[in-house]
Structure 1
Amino acid sequence: MFLSFKVCDYDLKIIAVNAQHGGRAHDAHIWRASGLRQHLQECHQQGDRSSWLIGDSAYPLEPWFMTPFIGPHEGTPEARYNARFTRARACVERCFGVWKGWFRCLRRDPTLHYSPERAGVIINACAVLHNMALHYRVDLPEPHVEDQVNVVMDGAGVGEGNAVRRRLVPLHFT
């Protein structure tokens, strides 16, 4: 199995992919090593506070990367945030399911029997072909759904990320 870090938009277009890590690398490790994270961190340090990525709880909460609240009480602003967050994440999961529906070699069960470098090229090519298929309105395949593993990760930026998330909730979810 060969893991990659993927970012998509609400139209299911893959806008970033990092296929440099083998199957034993954790999502949070791949994220921490990504050029996209470094770019967002630099933008944040230069004062840009206008955009965020979202990810499940396998990723660390950072000022530029929002994750869900763990166990909010029903009816609270945090629960409303999580409900909207879950709808947005469903789009992400749908993108990856469609991508794996087109390219069965990306599913968890088979393994790409190639060197890591070659497997990375295959993953990147599949991302490009996925975006081309969307652009040319090729009928979507049945999405492939895998079990998601969520792990809460502590890390640098969690405190500031929590402060950002706490400021967003009263503005949009009360």
Structure 2
Amino acid sequence: MIAHLFGPIEGRRHDAGMLRESGIETQMQRYMTTQNNEVYSVYGDPAYPISPYIIPPFRGCVITAQQMRFNKKMSAVRVSVEWTFGKVLSLFAFLDYKKNQKLYLQPVGKYYRVAAILTNCHTILYGSETGKFFGLCPPTLDEYLS
């Protein structure tokens, strides 16, 4: 399920800058800290800075065997984010025609947002590769659309 969208942003922008502009870390602070002050984190892109809510892969010349195992295991699940992007484009192929999508001449962001909502509806009705991989069940269509 796609839970947060930000944009549109030009493709050549740096990931860390887009992260900062999106304000998602403020939302993460609100929703990913429990009443016992436990913090949940997500595994992020290598371009993201380390924060309490986003953990990028370990990097550098000298990383331990444990850190290398962590990177390998987490990169295997990080690809699940790409599955969702692929699902949106497979359901709405016209979004992938770069020559036909002009950022300032068409409402590209609106097209993608509508496609994301409809992709979430498709996931609820028919399941998804990501849900199967992680053993997750989506909400009902009534819950999602309310």
Q: TM-score, normalised by structure 1?
A: 0.59
Q: Which has more strand, going by share of residues?
A: 1
Question: What SS does structure 1 have at the residue aligned with 2:110?
Answer: helix
Greater relative CO (CA pairs within 8 A, separation 6+): 1
2:94 match: 105
Residue number among 56, 62, 73 corresponding to 1:67 in the alignment: 56
Residue number among 24, 34, 38 corresponding to 2:26 in the alignment: 38
2-structure distance, mates of 1:70, 1:111: 38
C-alpha deviations, 1:17-42, integer Å up to 9, x for none? Answer: 11242334222211101132222246
Structure 2: tracts of 5 or more residues without a match = 130-146
CA displacement at 1:74 relative to structure 2: 8.8
Residue number among 4, 29, 32 corresponding to 1:16 in the alignment: 4
1-structure distance, mates of 2:119, 2:101: 18
Structure 1: tracts of 5 or more residues without a match = 1-12, 141-174
CA displacement at 1:82 relative to structure 2: 0.8
CA displacement at 1:121 relative to structure 2: 0.9
2-structure distance, mates of 1:139, 1:37: 26
CA RMSD in angstroms comes to: 3.1
Residue 53, structure 1, aligned to residue 42, structure 2: yes
Greater alpha carbon shift after TM alignment, 114-123 vs 16-25: 114-123
Q: Which has more helix, going by share of residues?
A: 2
2:110 match: 121
Aligned residues: 127
Question: What SS does structure 1 have at the residue aligned with 2:4?
Answer: strand
Identity %: 26
1-structure distance, mates of 2:27, 2:13: 21
